[in-house]
A = this chain, B = another copy of it.
Amino acid sequence: MIERLAIIGVGLIGGSLALALRRAGVVGEIVGAGRGVANLERARERGIIDRFTTDPAAAVARADTVVLGVTLGATADVMAAIAPALAPGAVVTDVGSTKASVVASARATLGAHLPHFVPGHPIAGTERSGADAAFAELYDAHKVVLTPLAETRPEALERVRAMWNAAGATVVEMAVDAHDAALAKTSHLPHLLAYNLVDTLAAAADADDVFAFAAGGFRDFTRIASSSPAMWADIAIANREALLAASAAYAERFATLLAALEAGDRDALETAFTRAKTARDACIVPESNEPC
């Protein structure tokens, strides 16, 4: 049971967590904080939070659980702001898409409170954002990765795990680096590729003609290029090393594929495409038992 939950950043992610915890009946008071008062008011109207403040430090006072639902770019500043105000033993967790950068911020700002911090990443989302987009079912049958540190207290880890389980999610523990490498490959690199495709086509002289031929495959492939540029620039920079490594592997294999195409080596293309199709068709999301 969470007596008082502080959510700093009441958007799709933080707001949906609040609604899911209310649905489960495992949370008392929920205090929201953020920079946009209109969004916070909307969150209170929708029953996501009970009250709000624009001062993160005020929000965390007397909270036993603190969730940072802010962007990666704002994480270090928010941590620095709340650190002096945290109640002794209050559990702090975050929702950032990369973990090494968040851990570095925590080490730099949380001081003696570090053992009560549990780095987290719910792998769920939609194209929408803000408190208006929040819904209680967002985490049902979705994965949440926790990347505890050597210093993390077991009871802090267990409380964050219990919170996400109550919200409907499946919790997985991973090392920070393994998380960042895996997400670079399945999420951050695909975003880079999709943004780069649309940017390449838009830059060509025949851009208008070309987009007129966008069919269903193109629509699916480039949907993620409609995501927030600021958020994804933050993620790319925060996970720079892992993303550069994944991108280099991608670019090297792409060059090999193009060499086969240049050489007119149809068999080499079909072999590569078949390997990919086989891997794609075998991929199952364990939580939902659906194809990837």
**A285 lies within 8 A of chain B by Cβ:** yes
What is the distance, in angstroms, from A175's C-beta to the closest C-beta of chain B? 11
Q: Is the CB of A277 within 8 A of B226?
A: yes
Q: Is the CB of A178 within 8 A of B123?
A: no
Q: Is the CB of B226 within 8 A of A281?
A: yes
Q: If the complex has contacts A257-B192, A266-B237, are A274 and B222 also in contact, measured as CB distance less than 8 A?
A: no
**A108 lies within 8 A of chain B by Cβ:** no
Residues on the B chain within 8 Å of A212, using CB: 143, 182, 286
Q: Is the CB of A273 within 8 A of B211?
A: no
Residue with the highest number of chain B CB atoms closer than 10 Å, among A194, A214, A240, A250 = A214
Q: If the complex has contacts A229-B277, A233-B266, are A220 and B220 also in contact, measured as CB distance less than 8 A?
A: yes
Q: Is the CB of A211 within 8 A of B270?
A: no
**A202 lies within 8 A of chain B by Cβ:** yes
Residues on the B chain within 8 Å of A281, using CB: 226
Q: Is the CB of A292 within 8 A of B249?
A: no
Mask: chain A, 215-252; 1 = CB below 8 Å from B; 0 = not: 11111111111110110111011001001101111110
Q: Pick the interface stretch among A16-24, A33-41, A45-53, A183-191.
A: A183-191
What is the distance, in angstroms, from A199's C-beta to the closest C-beta of chain B? 4
Q: Is the CB of B218 within 8 A of A187?
A: yes
Interchain CB contact (< 8 A) of A201 among B186, B210, B226, B286: B186
Residues on the B chain within 8 Å of A194, using CB: 221, 276
Query: Residues on A close to B: CB < 8 A?
Result: 123-125, 142-143, 145, 178, 181-183, 185-187, 189-204, 206-207, 209-227, 229-230, 232-234, 236-237, 240, 243-244, 246-251, 253-255, 257-258, 261-262, 264, 266-267, 269-270, 272-281, 283, 285-286, 291-292
Closest 6 CB pairs of A and B: A229-B273, A202-B279, A233-B270, A214-B292, A198-B276, A233-B269
What would 13 A/B residue contacts be, using CB atoms closer than 8 Å? A182-B206, A190-B222, A193-B254, A195-B272, A200-B249, A202-B278, A203-B253, A217-B224, A219-B292, A220-B223, A226-B281, A233-B266, A237-B269
